[in-house]
Structure 1
Amino acid sequence: MFTTTLKSVLHHARYFPLWSALTVFRWRAFDSRSRGLGTTLAMVMRWFPPARRRFDREAKKVFPNMKRSARAKLGQNMGRHMGRTLFELYHDAEFQTQHHKFRTSGPGLAVLKEANAVGKGAIIVSGHFGQWEAIRAVIKMHGMESGGVYRPHNNRHYARRILAGIEAGGKPILATGRVGTRALVSHLRGGGIISILLDEKQADGVRIPFLGLDALTSLSAAQLALKYDLPMIPAYGIRIDDGNAFRVVFETPIPHTDSITMTRAFNDSLSARIIANPEQWYWMLKRWDDVAMSE
């Protein structure tokens, strides 16, 4: 009983700062509220040592020669982008309606439409880069709908708000795990579209280079694409125009070869996007920790 109560109190305490920030800005217009939370998280990255150190540790691995001041600026810019992304996730229903913000390009969208027209499923692969919900917004704009895979947050307050937000972007939203995997297979076999973020650490994954460093990476998306003969399409929602608009790029589908080669092709694709816009990737994922632990 005491443990449960303490856990509940801690969840409330950890959620309170974000709730406060969202409440302070709620009377403003959508873009102003988005910028407000972005500014708040940029300040966190500047003045909150644990967050600053965690970012610095990861960024140093990829940019060992970057000056400390440049890394500090990169961390603050990442916080600004991720604050806006978090706000948009929490208010996804409203975000999805802002069609004027989305500028679409790339051959992958036509492939997706063709697959959907004949009742064939498809897998969209992306990462915690830019605004990934912009991808599903564009899919919905074109008369389709993409479900998503997510890892439930340990804090029930975050989990509830995030789930409610991303469900507005398309269904089904499937939690990671055995039950979610069965539902995912059923959805794809029934001609559904699913969006998967492939840049989280996977303890049971395979070592594949990511940003020049080995990272344990899930092969699940490629394995599903091969098993059910589905297109695997890298897609990205890149912030432009001072963060107020998005260039949504649907790249050429990854050729079907084997799961490791295909997953490596995706890692290379995402790595190139991050190198071009490093402030738009969420560096706090501890992406390479599993490799270090397994050595």
Structure 2
Amino acid sequence: MLHRSIRSAWNHFRYIPLLSVLTVSRRRRFEKRSRALGSAVGFVMRWFPPALWRFEREVLRVFPNMPRRQRAELARSMGRAMGRTLFEIYHCAEFQARADRFHPAGPGLAALEAARDSGKGAIVVSGHFGQWEAVRAVLKARGMETGAIYRRQPNPHYQRRLRAGIEAGGMPILETGRSGTKSLIRHLRQGGFMAILLDEKHPEGEMLPFLGHPALTSTAAAELALKYDLPMVPAYGLRRADGDSFDVIFEEPIPHTDALTMTQAFNDSLSARILADPAQWYWMLRRWNMPRA
């Protein structure tokens, strides 16, 4: 009982900074509220040592010769971008209503429309890069509501807000795990669309190169695409320089070959995006950590 009380108090304490920023900025315009949280997270990334150390460990793995000053600026830029992304997810209904901010392009969009018109499902794969909810916003506006897979947050305050935001972006929302997988298969077989972020470490995945280093990667999306003959389309919501609008790029569907080759094709696609604009990727994922034996 004491342990549970301490954990509850700690969860409340950790949530206070975010709640404070959201409360203080509540009466401002959407863009100003978004920038406020972005600035707060950027400050933390630049000046809070544990966050900076974790960030630098990952960045130096990929960019070993990057100067310290450049790394510090990259940390702050990434923090600002991720703070804005978090705010937009928390307020996803309001975010999606801003249709003039989304600029879709790329051949994958036509492939998804063809799948919808033929009554087939589809798998949209992306990563924690740019604003991934912009992808679902574009699809929903075009009659292709797209569900999502998400990982439950241990802090119930973050979990409640995050779940509500993701649900506003499109249904169904499924948790990782066996029950979520069964629901995912049923949804796809019924002609549904699903978005999956493939850049998180997956303990039961395959070791595949990502940004030049082996990383445990789930091949489930490719396996489902092959089994049910579904298009697997990489898509990204690139935040423009103004911070408020997005180029939503739908790449060519990944050719059906085998699960490892298809998953590697996605890793290569996302790696190219990150190398071109590293500030838009969330470097705090511990992507290359090995699970404990």
The aligned runs of 1:1-295 (5 Å cut-off) are 1-290=1-290
Q: Deviations over 1:188-237 (max 9, x none)?
A: 00000000000000111101000011100000000000010000000000
Which residue identity lines up with residue 242 of structure 1 in the other structure?
D
- CA distance in structure 2 between the aligned counterparts of 1:24 and 1:219, rounded to whole angstroms: 43
Contact kept in structure 2, 1:236 and 1:250, CA below 8 Å: yes
Q: After superposition, what is the alpha-carbon deviation per residue over 1:40-78, rounded to whole angstroms, capped at 9, x for unaligned?
A: 111001111000100000000000010011011101100
Aligned residues: 293
**Local SS of the residue matching 2:129:** coil
Counterparts of 2:30 and 2:84, CA distance in 1: 10
SS in 2 for 1:284: coil
What's the Cα RMSD here?
0.9
Say whether the 8 Å CA contact 1:202–1:290 is kept in structure 2: no
Following superposition, the deviation at residue 241 of structure 1 comes to 3.3
* Residue deviations 1:96-137 (CA, integer Å, cap 9, x gap): 110010001001011101101111000000000000000000
> Using the alignment, how far apart are the partners of 1:223 and 1:172 within structure 2?
20
Q: Distance in 1 between matches of 2:142 and 2:150?
A: 23
Question: Does the aligned pair in 2 maintain the 1:150–1:176 contact within 8 Å?
Answer: yes
* Residue 247 (structure 1) shift: 0.1
Q: Which amino acid aligns with 1:32?
A: K
Could you tell me whether the CA contact under 8 Å between 1:81 and 1:280 is conserved in 2? yes
Residue type of the alignment partner of 1:108:
G
Q: Is the 8 A contact 1:35 1:84 kept in 2?
A: yes
Distance 2:160 2:217 in 1: 27
In the alignment, the residues of structure 2 paired with residue 12 and residue 119 of structure 1 have an alpha-carbon distance, to the nearest angstrom, of: 46
Distance in 1, matches of 2:50 and 2:19, equals: 20
Identity of aligned residues (%): 62
Q: For 1:221-265, what per-residue CA distance to the aligned partner results, in whole angstroms no more than 9, with x for missing partners?
A: 000000100000000000003211000000000000000000000
SS of structure 2 residue aligned to 1:73: helix
Partner SS, residue 200 of structure 1? coil
- Structure 1's consecutive aligned runs of 4 or more residues displaced over 6 angstroms after TM superposition are none
The residue type paired with residue 214 of structure 1 is: P
- Give 3-state SS (helix, strand or coil) of 2:268's partner: helix
Question: Which consecutive unaligned segments of at least 5 residues does structure 2 have?
Answer: none
**TM-score, length-normalised on structure 1?**
0.98
Amino acid in the other structure paired with 1:84: R
Give the partner amino acid of 1:226. L
